[in-house]
């Protein structure tokens, strides 16, 4: 009898494995679930590959759309008949070819250039009160303007002396202080005369003659101003821009205009009506039929700004040196400036002295004149209202800069730079697209174990993400076929190779190397190391890309027959049409040439169709993964339910065992293991 048995009996105890306390059924379920889910690893890997393939397809599509973009420039007919012109005297005339117009190459002599001028209307300089006029209103009404404080006089510009009323002016090295609030012009001129005469020049005299200030000296040259001066007295006296005529025995300077006149910064309704002899009122006036509004609170500067921002076609300025308004036509040539055609309710035109009746003067603009001698020697004179002359040399624009009667030349030659630039841009975009496809569809390479000095293990170079996708590979082949095929409609130029564009004649790819560099029937030579299991090998043939443009060949072809080159690249059967039509179907984006779109935009492009196929496969794989996952979850739940039921049953059996053992007089061990009776 076992030691675990109950003494006095020969029957063994009833016992079961201890499932409730010992078996880890979660681990069992987890392992079974992992086995069920195992296929999803491969499915997820396929999804990752397909997602990467779609990313690459989008990248390729972008590259191909870049090729489409370059076709736009190639389709511009102007670049096939472009001419350039250079001037030997750019200070007199600059020149350039006119887009879309053919020129005759050669050297043209320009014998004479006269630039066109604009019509100008200059106002009466005496439209404003001068410094000698009597004040019409205010505290000093009835007094001569030159006898009242300068700040209250008809000074054209209000003296500016910083924050105070005093200023300084230096004449012949003597600095004189003045006060615009307290001193009149007569007083200031007397002070200048006295101090200069006393301290520097005994023959000096500052006077007011007919409204203009004159400084004269019988002893020494006159000098005006110094860096330390403050205020703008020399401006007010119109001496800043005046001609100082100095001689060995003395000097003289006379103001450029009468002191006083219109104040351009003052409003029309100020005390002195901005010094206008005839007040300006609120209303409108017209210039070339365009209405300009005036308010009483505006100044002359405000009105000039309004004219310049309008569509009147003139530029309005105020000449502070001569105290005159100038209207200059924006267009050159003998064109009119029509003032007040629809009336002047503001009185501005007559008050400012712009009308003929109020003393305004009109200088009619003149035409440009160019005398051109052709390469054959014939001379002809051309006239133009504009300084941009397009009728003197066929296909050339002359931009007149200054007058001259000294002959110079304009050299006209065909300009191939635009076409070269367009073709070069196409080659770059085309090669980028084809290279991207080549890389994406490249085959993987695995070396044979034992090759090379690196040991016996195999090495590999992974293939492109689109390896095995013959549809994408066919796009590159079709591109190559188009650029290497017959193009255009002529017999002299019907292939790109005739204008310097050739397919590459060799390519490199990864291969499994060997120690002897013996490539068998590969027909090429290795460019990699013989000791490397994987190496890059060059072969004769083409990878579909284009060699760099032979610029000389293109220029020669363009010189020989520009229309044939244009037909080759941009004709009805030319490169832009054939390639553009094909790419429209591939990318789904329109190819819009200069003549309009080519090709039909499909409901689903070729590249998009490839993406859709991948996307459909991805969705199918995801559904499989979902089904497998659902099955695994269902299996786990079922197993868990069975284990729970088993534990419940075993627990019940253990309880019954306890009851039976007690009835038979056995002692049942609490251990989960059983023993003999």
Task: Name the more confident of 251 and 641.
Answer: 251
The model's pLDDT over 580-603, given as tens digits with 9 standing for 90+, comes to 999 999 999 999 999 999 999 999
Q: Pairing relation of β-strands 368-373 and 106-114?
A: antiparallel
Q: Which of 134-138, 459-463, 527-531, 662-666 has the lowest mean pLDDT?
A: 527-531
pLDDT at residue 532, as a whole number: 56
What confidence category does residue 320 fall into, taking pLDDT thresholds of 50, 70 and 90?
confident
pLDDT at 616 over 70: yes
More confident: 457 or 256: 256
The per-residue pLDDT for range 428-455, each reduced to its tens digit, is 999 999 999 999 998 887 666 554 444 4
pLDDT over 90 at 620, yes or no:
yes
Phi-psi category of residue 591: left, alpha or beta, with phi > 0 → left and psi -120 to 50 → alpha: beta
pLDDT (0 to 100) of residue 512: 67
pLDDT digits over 125-157, tens only? 999 999 999 998 889 999 999 999 998 899 876
Task: Domain ranges for the chain, please list them.
Answer: 19-54+608-664, 83-116+381-414, 121-125+263-363, 157-254, 506-541
Position 451 scores a pLDDT of 46
pLDDT (0 to 100) of residue 233: 93
Residue 5: predicted pLDDT: 39
Q: Tell me what pLDDT residue 20 has.
A: 59
Residue 669 pLDDT:
54
Alpha-carbon separation of residue 339 from 127, 225, 283, 327 (angstroms): 17, 41, 15, 10
Average pLDDT, rounded, for the chain: 87
- Picking from 359, 210, 343, the residue whose alpha carbon sits closest to that of residue 278 is 359
- Which residue's entry shows tokens 């005496």? 126
> What sign has the CA pseudo-torsion 52, 54, 60, 65?
negative
Across 604-609, average pLDDT: 91
Q: Which of 90-104, 399-413, 659-673 has the highest mean pLDDT?
A: 399-413
pLDDT number for residue 189:
97
| Residue-wise DSSP of 288-310 | TTEEEEE-TT-BHHHHHHHHHTS
Mean pLDDT of all residues in 384-405: 96
> How much is the average pLDDT of 68-94?
95
CA 238, CA 260: separation in Å to the nearest integer? Answer: 9
Residue 290 has pLDDT above 70, yes or no: yes
pLDDT for the residue numbered 595: 92
**pLDDT value of residue 668:** 53
Euclidean distance between the first and final Cα of the chain, in Å? 5
Domain 121-125+263-363 has CATH 3.40.1340: no
Percent of the chain with pLDDT over 70: 88
Distance (Å, rounded) from C-alpha 568 to C-alpha 413?
A: 22
How far does Cα 342 stand from its chain's mean position?
45
pLDDT at 200 over 90: no
Q: For 546, which DSSP code?
A: B
Maximum C-alpha span of the chain: 163
43 pLDDT more than 60 = yes
* Distinct helix (H) and strand (E) counts, the chain: 12, 28
| Average pLDDT value for residue range 303-326 | 96
CA 277/CA 135 separation, integer angstroms: 11
Is residue 653 pLDDT above 90, yes or no? no
User: Which residues are bridge partners to 362 per DSSP?
Assistant: 121
Q: Quick check: 4 pLDDT over 50?
A: no
Q: What is the pLDDT of residue 242?
A: 95
Does pTM surpass 0.85?
no
Is 392's pLDDT higher than 60? Answer: yes
Q: Is the pLDDT reported for residue 671 higher than 90?
A: no
> From CA 306, how far away is CA 163, in angstroms rounded?
31
Smallest Cα–Cα separation from 129: which of 271, 327, 292? Answer: 271
Strand order in 283-287's β-sheet?
Answer: 290-294, 283-287, 339-344
For the ranges 85-89, 287-291, 397-401, 471-475, the lowest mean pLDDT is seen at 471-475
- For the cut 60, the answer to whether the pLDDT of residue 331 exceeds it is yes
Q: How confident is the model over 455-507, as pLDDT tens digits?
A: 455 566 778 889 888 889 999 999 999 999 999 887 789 999 999 999 998 77
Q: Which of 319, 367, 377 is nearest to 118 (CA)?
A: 367
Which pLDDT score is estimated for 505? 85
Q: Mean of the pLDDT values across residues 187-193?
A: 97
* pLDDT grade for 518, boundaries at 50, 70 and 90: very low
pLDDT at 97: 93
Q: DSSP string covering 456-494, please?
A: SS--EE---TTTT-HHHHHHHHHHHHHHHS--SS-SS--
Instruction: Say if residue 41 is exposed, middle or buried (CB neighbours under 10 Å; 0-12, 13-18, 19+).
Output: exposed
What pLDDT score was predicted for residue 212?
A: 95
Count of residues in the chain: 677
């Amino acid at each position: 009898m076992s030691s675990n048995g109950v003494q006095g009996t020969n029957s063994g105890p009833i016992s079961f494995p201890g499932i409730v306390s010992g078996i880890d059924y979660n681990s069992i379920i987890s392992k079974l679930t992992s086995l069920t889910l195992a296929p999803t690893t491969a499915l997820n890997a396929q999804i990752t590959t397909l997602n990467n393939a779609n990313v690459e397809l989008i990248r390729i599509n972008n590259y191909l759309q870049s090729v489409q973009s370059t076709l736009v420039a190639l389709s511009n007919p102007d670049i096939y008949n472009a001419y350039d012109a250079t001037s030997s005297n750019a200070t007199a005339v600059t020149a350039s070819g006119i887009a879309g117009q053919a020129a005759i190459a050669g050297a043209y002599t320009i014998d004479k250039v006269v630039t066109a001028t604009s019509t100008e209307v200059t106002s009466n300089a005496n439209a404003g009160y001068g410094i000698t006029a009597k004040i019409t209103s205010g505290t000093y009404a009835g007094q001569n303007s030159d006898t009242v404080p300068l700040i209250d006089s008809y000074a054209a510009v209000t003296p500016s002396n910083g924050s105070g009323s005093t200023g300084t002016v230096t004449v012949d090295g003597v600095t004189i202080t003045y006060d615009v609030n307290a001193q009149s012009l007569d007083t200031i001129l007397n002070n200048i005369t006295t101090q200069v005469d006393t301290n520097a020049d005994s023959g000096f005299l500052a006077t007011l003659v007919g409204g203009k200030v004159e400084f004269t000296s019988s002893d020494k040259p006159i000098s005006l101003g110094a860096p330390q001066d403050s205020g703008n007295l020399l401006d007010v006296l119109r001496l800043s821009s005046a001609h100082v005529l100095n001689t060995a025995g003395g000097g003289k300077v006379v103001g450029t205009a009468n002191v006083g006149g219109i104040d351009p910064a003052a409003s029309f309704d100020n005390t002195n009506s901005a010094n206008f002899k005839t007040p300006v009122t609120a209303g409108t006036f017209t210039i070339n039929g365009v209405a300009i509004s005036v308010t009483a609170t505006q100044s002359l500067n405000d009105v000039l700004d309004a004219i310049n921002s309008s569509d009147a076609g003139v530029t309005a300025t105020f000449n502070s040196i001569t105290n005159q308004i100038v209207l200059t036509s924006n267009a050159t040539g003998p064109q009119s400036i029509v003032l007040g055609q629809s009336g002047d309710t503001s009185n501005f035109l007559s008050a400012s002295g712009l009308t003929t009746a109020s003393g305004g003067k009109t200088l009619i603009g003149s035409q440009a004149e160019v005398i051109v001698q052709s390469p054959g020697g014939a001379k002809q004179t051309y006239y133009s209202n504009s300084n941009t002359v397009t009728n003197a040399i066929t296909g050339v624009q002359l931009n007149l800069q200054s007058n001259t009667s000294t002959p110079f030349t304009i050299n006209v030659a065909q300009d191939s730079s635009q076409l070269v630039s367009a073709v070069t841009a196409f080659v770059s975009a085309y090669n980028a697209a084809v290279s991207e496809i080549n890389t994406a569809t490249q085959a993987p390479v695995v070396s044979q174990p034992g090759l090379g000095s690196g040991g016996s293990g195999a090495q590999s170079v992974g293939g492109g993400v689109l390896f095995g996708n013959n549809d994408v590979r066919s796009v590159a082949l079709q591109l190559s076929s188009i650029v290497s095929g017959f193009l255009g409609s002529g017999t002299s130029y019907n292939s790109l190779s005739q204008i310097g564009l050739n397919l590459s004649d060799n390519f490199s790819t990864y291969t499994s190397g060997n120690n002897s560099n013996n490539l068998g029937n590969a027909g090429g030579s290795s460019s990699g190391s013989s000791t490397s299991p994987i190496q890059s090998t060059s072969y004769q043939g083409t990878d579909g890309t284009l060699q760099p443009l032979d610029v000389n060949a293109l220029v020669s072809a363009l010189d020989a027959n520009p229309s044939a080159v244009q037909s080759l690249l941009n004709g009805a059967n030319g490169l832009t049409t054939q390639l553009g039509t094909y790419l429209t179907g591939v990318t789904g984006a329109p190819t819009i040439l200069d003549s309009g779109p080519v090709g039909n935009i499909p409901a689903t492009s070729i590249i998009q169709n490839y993406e859709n196929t991948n996307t459909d496969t991805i969705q199918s794989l995801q559904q499989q993964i979902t089904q497998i996952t659902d099955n695994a979850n269902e299996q786990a739940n079922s197993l868990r339910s069975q284990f729970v039921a088993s534990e419940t049953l075993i627990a019940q059996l253990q309880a019954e065992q306890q009851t039976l053992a007690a009835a038979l007089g056995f002692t049942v061990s609490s251990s989960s293991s059983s023993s003999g009776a």
